[in-house]
Structure 1
């Protein structure tokens, strides 16, 4: 049996549940359309910094923020389009703006559909008309994030998109990685390093970009919590980013469609033609 309930917390929070699968999802549309909680059999899969989340002046650290129209940061937060400079902060604006709920479905799963349309605020930093439609679908141990990007501009729309899930972990030394690449770029010093399935968690920060992906899935086993998270992503996602900070109970494994600064360099940047749409999907599955 599937259900969708609405609770008024600090923000209106939609709660999707699968009673038979004993899973639960919380979504806060007005805070960037973000997923803030994903529980399976009472176990919380996501990390959330509740203090930052409570402050609307701060970006959220936790849950699953949406990255659009860029992933990562730009030099001096600036890009140039048709000879004009624009300022766009790290990861774009979709994670900060309110989204609108347009559909709820409780048949064969619990699904919530949210929409973000371009407006004067977005056009000031990104001169394109667009519509983003995200559908979160919960069924058993699986969370599907289906996305639709529409370009309503008169010209092609360049963008990159991604997700920034924060997974909860209490002992990072118990993590085992299956990432379809044998090297990554260390974003701290731009060096390219080989990868054999492990990271050095004694470092203050790990920020690793995997660009040469040989497949459309990755997984992380947490031996301490006896869980395995599998991430399946559509071919548009050219980059996987692993990020964590020492002393914090999270790690991030992020599918990006393009690397940092793609809006300036054009590297793997998507150009969506006028009037066209793009559909893509990311699926998370937890095994115990």
Structure 2
């Protein structure tokens, strides 16, 4: 079922399947900013990544001497959520652990995705609760894709992702599907060029250390685009498909990483993992502003 929120500036829509954002429409300039999931290139809009981000080595892990299987980015994006709460300006989707999730992930959890419409901005929050007396191990992340170009008078390579930060970031390299978090590079550039070659080795991943960073996806003229506030994300990935001419760019806030190239396979040793003790909670958020 599709659910929408609307004000004078924006109309945003969501699907109970995956709790996924499916439309981000600017009523002023009549632009649809969110990728519309053309399966020719990539059949998703903005999937939620839980309880892992990226891929496990050989799609498996071990926990308490038991082997489990899980595919890339986890199962939440392919499950039906419940609408827990809805008002004129916000909606919260909820997913509980169940028999299906327990087969691949032996933890009790409550995952809530809260969307709040604030004038020209959408705030997205990931709320993870541990209802158990046992610890909860997880990662979580977002994967929103934006239409690039937005206008028929522009082309893909007209765009860039400007980084409003005076800090030097660590660039997390990838080896195939896996992260090489032990050997980061210094990233001092103030922008990421949007070209096909930029994504030849998959996503460009920056370590943020939970410090709010503004990324702006736009052309050099800055006429229209996305201002993406990373909130308290630990990492952000910028990605598009290669070598296809896919007309979208993803800006992905993550609280976790794909398995390290040298991962042991033991979940307790996984890079970027979060641990909640009994009845503890986690709150991660980011914001998308359109112009």
Question: Same fold judged by TM-score > 0.5?
Answer: yes
Residues 130-186 of structure 1, C-alpha deviation per residue, up to 9 Å, x if partnerless?
A: 111222112321001123211122311111100001011023322232335545234
Q: Distance in 2 between the 1:40 and 1:165 partners?
A: 16
Unaligned regions of 5+ residues in structure 2, if any?
150-154, 261-266
Please report the TM-score for the alignment, with normalisation by the length of structure 2.
0.82
1:283 Cα deviation after fit: 1.2
**Matched residue, 1:232:** 229
Q: Distance in 2 between the 1:142 and 1:200 partners?
A: 23
Are 1:71 and 1:256, in contact at CA under 8 Å, matched by a contact in 2?
yes
**Matched residue, 2:132:** 153
**Matched residue, 1:94:** 76
**Matched residue, 1:4:** none
1:102 Cα deviation after fit: 1.8
Q: Distance in 1 between the 2:14 and 2:25 partners?
A: 12
**Matched residue, 1:48:** 36
Superposition pairs for residues 236-251 of structure 1, below 5 Å?
237-245=233-241, 246=243, 247-251=245-249
**Matched residue, 1:282:** 286
Structure 1 stretches of 4+ with a deviation exceeding 6 A read none
Superposition pairs for residues 216-231 of structure 1, below 5 Å?
216-223=212-219, 226-231=223-228
- Bigger relative CO (Cα 8 Å, ≥ 6 apart): 2
Alignment partner of 1:142 is 2:121: yes
Please report the TM-score for the alignment, with normalisation by the length of structure 1.
0.82
Query: Over aligned residue pairs, what C-alpha RMSD do you find?
Result: 2.4
Alignment partner of 1:174 is 2:158: yes
Are 1:36 and 1:64, in contact at CA under 8 Å, matched by a contact in 2?
yes
**Matched residue, 1:66:** 48
**Matched residue, 1:80:** 62
Are 2:159 and 2:194, in contact at CA under 8 Å, matched by a contact in 1?
no
Unaligned regions of 5+ residues in structure 1, if any?
1-11, 54-59
Superposition pairs for residues 13-28 of structure 1, below 5 Å?
13-18=2-7, 20-21=8-9, 23-28=10-15
**Matched residue, 1:254:** 252
Are 1:137 and 1:144, in contact at CA under 8 Å, matched by a contact in 2?
yes
Change in CA separation of 1:62 and 1:83 when aligned onto 2, cut-off 3 Å:
same
Q: Distance in 1 between the 2:20 and 2:171 partners?
A: 28
Change in CA separation of 1:27 and 1:225 when aligned onto 2, cut-off 3 Å:
farther
Change in CA separation of 1:115 and 1:15 when aligned onto 2, cut-off 3 Å:
same
